[in-house]
Structure 1
Amino acid sequence: MKTLFISRKVEEEGELAAFCQQHNLQLIALPLIGFKPVIATDIPTTDVLFFTSPRSVSFYLEQAAILPGQQIATVGENTSKALQERGITVDFTGSTPTQPEKIALDFKNWVGSKTVLFPQSSVSNRTMQQALSSHQYTDLVVYETVAFPREILPVPDLLIFSSPSNFRSFLKTNAITNQQILLAFGSTTQNYISECGYSSRVLSGISEEEIIRFITPLLH
């Protein structure tokens, strides 16, 4: 039996779990990082709030409010959904989740010269900011990413990493072998894996359906 490791939780009765059962593939779905709030002070007033994840939404809104007239932008559909479920209208949503550099360019064209606040993690890759002028944005750390390294057994044949932080945590207690196939959610994670001396393939999407479509040929 082959083993698939993915560094995030999946639905117990979801598509990926069902696929693994049907194909005699052992599934280990386990995040290797956790999060804790950081109390922000002196939160500036900006034209736009850009949320990089559903976590940035929850950690920011626990301590601050969206001001009248502020526009809302997000990195992708999951983050927009987290806002819409709170009754908040989203003005910009990134459409290419595995290509953050393209989202950054699209956002740059959309935002123009408006000022932007980025509620984010302590280890944010800051891809969006790199496309903007330094005077028009402010970084605001609202939560800390904490490593929870664990030994993953049996040794997986396929490994899917959802972030650089999860890969970094994995390496603390696990080794990568030449026989393993590494997959990454997006170019940012792939680039970090490459910086660590390993090769990986970028998934075409982050949904369970896209994961299944991508890994099916790798099982034969």
Structure 2
Amino acid sequence: MAIFAGMKLQRRSAYISRNLQAQSAFRLILEAHGVGVEGQSLIHFKPVPFGVVPDADWVFFYSPRAVRFFLGNLPHPLSPEVRLGSIGPSTAQAITDMGYQVAFTGTGEPETTADAFAEVANGQRVLFPQARHSRQSVQKKLGSIIKSTGIIVYDNRPAADFPLRCPEVLVFTSPLNAKAYLSRYEILPGQQLVAIGNPTASACRSFGKEPVMASAPNEEALAQAVLHCLADK
């Protein structure tokens, strides 16, 4: 594990484990408060070819990336009778951006989303396009309530090397990102962690670090969590 020997924290700065667009809400909110922002995913993504798509009543997506890798590489169009579901608003937006309609949008949290999805998909066939290392959170929560099938559409592996500065606040947007960072770098005195949700918080705790939890799994809530951390200093 690497240690930032002799390095000092960059005051009023935050790192988030995703690549940010110029108009990212996370970036805009924090920069408006004078906070420096760095965004870099610690995960490498690669499409995985898939052939025959199993018959299903629903296709449920865990992430915008799953949407793009699946809908963008379909060997043939989906039947118009197949309904599309998403774990949260950002994934629903990705479906819409691909020209499809969304029949179900979750909260972004697996447990509450699974409970709500069970009410509309009970006993039906649900296809889950996913990463090779997916936690399959909604599938596992629903169990036999639905007839689920997973299909791997992309690979997600931690980056082997990533140079980072020393921000005051580290924001992790997935368990895999948290594990990639915390298995490589020590946390400096005074640094605080923010987790996007319970699974990511659990990943932080597995390294003995207690994060601040965002109030919702979106960039606005993550930015507010960062401001809360900085206000405590």
TM-score, structure 2 normalization: 0.84
Residue 60 of structure 2 is aligned to residue 55 of structure 1: no
Aligned to 1:31: 41
2:194 and 2:226 in contact (8 A); partners too: no
Aligned to 1:159: 170
Aligned to 1:72: 84
How far is the alpha carbon of 1:211 from its aligned partner? 2.7
Correspondence 1:124-163 to 2 at 5 A: 124-134=134-144, 136-148=147-159, 149-153=161-165, 155-163=166-174
Change (3 A) 1:87 1:21: closer
Distance in 2 of aligned mates of 1:11 and 1:86: 18
Structure 2 unaligned spans of 5+ = 1-10
Distance in 2 of aligned mates of 1:105 and 1:132: 8
Residues 29-51 of structure 1 deviation map (CA, whole Å, 9 limit, x = unaligned):
11111211111234311111101
Distance in 2 of aligned mates of 1:102 and 1:56: 20
Which amino acid counterpart does residue 130 of structure 2 have in structure 1? Q
How far is the alpha carbon of 1:67 from its aligned partner? 1.8
Distance in 2 of aligned mates of 1:116 and 1:16: 33
Distance in 1 of aligned mates of 2:98 and 2:23: 26
Correspondence 1:58-137 to 2 at 5 A: 58-61=68-71, 62-64=73-75, 65-94=77-106, 96-97=107-108, 99-134=109-144, 136-137=147-148
1:158 and 1:182 in contact (8 A); partners too: yes
Distance in 2 of aligned mates of 1:92 and 1:15: 24
1:33 and 1:147 in contact (8 A); partners too: yes
TM-score, structure 1 normalization: 0.89
Change (3 A) 1:44 1:166: same
Query: What percent identity do the matched residue pairs reach?
Result: 29
Q: 2:55 aligns with which of 18, 40, 45?
A: 45
1:151 and 1:173 in contact (8 A); partners too: no
Which amino acid counterpart does residue 32 of structure 1 have in structure 2? L
Distance in 1 of aligned mates of 2:99 and 2:131: 24
How far is the alpha carbon of 1:115 from its aligned partner? 0.8
Please give the secondary structure, in 2, of the residue aligned with 1:173. coil
2:158 and 2:176 in contact (8 A); partners too: yes
Structure 1 unaligned spans of 5+ = none
Please give the secondary structure, in 2, of the residue aligned with 1:166. helix
2:85 and 2:105 in contact (8 A); partners too: yes
Residues 105-160 of structure 1 deviation map (CA, whole Å, 9 limit, x = unaligned):
1111221100111000011111111122347101111000022241311x222110
Distance in 1 of aligned mates of 2:208 and 2:86: 31
1:108 and 1:131 in contact (8 A); partners too: no
Residue 183 of structure 2 is aligned to residue 183 of structure 1: no
Please give the secondary structure, in 1, of the residue aligned with 2:55. coil
Please give the secondary structure, in 2, of the residue aligned with 1:133. helix
How far is the alpha carbon of 1:203 from its aligned partner? 0.5
